[in-house]
Structure 1
């Protein structure tokens, strides 16, 4: 099968299209013919080797954590799925990822793709949808709560804002000043997150944009809680006056099914900024690095 291979850690020039054997599903696993995969910002960190100490990749490696495609073979013991099913899959960061013609994942990382969604749309919702929902759940949000989300127009931020609306909370998007109008179309309120506030008015917040973590925390009252998907510098929370929980996405097939259902109903939308062929993975990484306004998706 054709695959986009990362030959060595470094720049996008380390990608090349090569041939690999089609993987075979073990017990509890599923083989998928991949139709579309999405590029996640974490892929750029993996490519550059910044996580090599913690997640060493077997080079040459196949990156890509978010995919959609069709089931072609079931491993022993897999139930609830059939050959021919349209599905999405949440691939692990293990160097055997989704930027290839075929991929194998545990059945517990797969959900069926509703007919209302294309393969490209399905791939765009996987980690963004799961992570956005998990940040809200980690905060313990209740209906009526007012929650600030920095990076509110990024993929995870959008998913969080839309899920907050679904559960009856009041989402507030923290964005750059030039994007306030766009943010107000998505959230109940929006504010300029680049400006430190004069007072703290939130008990709960989600940090999805690292450079403004200090301003976000200044918006939170003493004893409040922040869930962050990006590292938070220790010096922005003197005296640990707010509780900070750094969250790393977890795979969850049932939750992924709920995310896709929300997408099919139109209550979760993550825009696709660009769609490229698999052999342009390097250009896709460059688009993400340059701040593409939406997901960058590869068509296989």
Structure 2
């Protein structure tokens, strides 16, 4: 599928990428339907897609550390000039090299999930030894957060449905049924990446504790502001993105790919995401 926007040469501080693979995320569907029009106004025609992997095709002035032909991953902004195209231009601050042992498809799963997972942990200021509850722990963001918590010596606890307890325990080391009301608040920290159980997650957190939330917080979930809630969306960071790629190359961060489609079948890919396909849905360009 060819972008409706002609490929342009990168300006200062930018990199032109020939895109080999991109991911379709639930947020793409929200933007497509116009749910985010108030916050992300797009001029049509618009190209969606925030996660990409490909090859450097051009380097703007002032960019160092990248050369034409380098394999890279990139975090595209949601500005209507996205990754579901043959070429894309992004700031160098949103690009990291793709390790040789990772495919383009694997690389396309990493940017937004990896950045969001790590930045959620950083927002909490978690240190070694801390127990952190993660709702949505088997999703891409949850997996990235768990891996990072393990890397810094913290203790992730996966909050999942009862039928996924064993799978989550294998990933995180400890798991609990997040759908059940807790007997008491025992956590100082939690990460909310699953909207349907956000209320139960907050109930697990002690007074004065902290929650990093990438999903809407239910009305009345934090009566009296008894916990501190960090509502966040990730920001581009090349250094963090490189750390995510390194973790994936070492096999300690694995984001499963559920389905792969050719770019021209993007409609089917979006339908798979809308149907709740477990794992990432990836487009091959």
Query: What's the TM-score bracket when you normalise by the shorter of the two chains?
Result: over 0.9
Selected match of 2:83 from 95, 98, 101: 98
Tell me, yes or no, if structure 1 residue 282 matches structure 2 residue 275. Answer: no
Moved over 6 A (4+): none
TM-score when normalising by structure 1 = 0.93
Taking the TM superposition and a 5 Å limit, the aligned residue runs for 1:116-135 are 116-135=101-120
Taking the TM superposition and a 5 Å limit, the aligned residue runs for 1:7-26 are 19-26=4-11
Selected match of 2:193 from 185, 203, 208: 208
SS in structure 2 at match of 1:84: coil
Tell me, yes or no, if structure 1 residue 109 matches structure 2 residue 97. Answer: no
Match in the other structure for 1:41:
26
Tell me, yes or no, if structure 1 residue 57 matches structure 2 residue 42. Answer: yes
Tell me, yes or no, if structure 1 residue 232 matches structure 2 residue 232. Answer: no
Measured after TM superposition, the shift of residue 151 of structure 1 is: 0.6
Tell me the number of residue pairs that the alignment of Structure 1 and Structure 2 aligns. 285
Distance 1:288 1:192 in 2: 25
1:185-241, CA deviations, whole angstroms, 9 ceiling, x for partnerless residues? Answer: 101211111111111111100000011111001111111110000110231111111
Distance 2:58 2:156 in 1: 42
Distance 2:130 2:107 in 1: 30
Measured after TM superposition, the shift of residue 30 of structure 1 is: 1.0
Distance 2:13 2:212 in 1: 33
What is the alpha-carbon root mean square deviation over aligned residues? 1.0
Match in the other structure for 1:255:
240
Distance 2:5 2:192 in 1: 39
Consecutive unaligned residues of structure 1, counting only runs of 5 or more, are 4-18
Consecutive unaligned residues of structure 2, counting only runs of 5 or more, are none
1:14-45, CA deviations, whole angstroms, 9 ceiling, x for partnerless residues? Answer: xxxxx542232111111110000011221111
Tell me, yes or no, if structure 1 residue 136 matches structure 2 residue 121. Answer: yes
Distance 2:175 2:126 in 1: 19
Measured after TM superposition, the shift of residue 286 of structure 1 is: 1.6
Distance 1:233 1:23 in 2: 43
TM-score when normalising by structure 2 = 0.98
Distance 1:127 1:164 in 2: 17
1:36-57, CA deviations, whole angstroms, 9 ceiling, x for partnerless residues? Answer: 0011221111111011111111
Distance 1:78 1:197 in 2: 51
Distance 1:277 1:105 in 2: 23
1:86-109, CA deviations, whole angstroms, 9 ceiling, x for partnerless residues? Answer: 001110000000000010111111
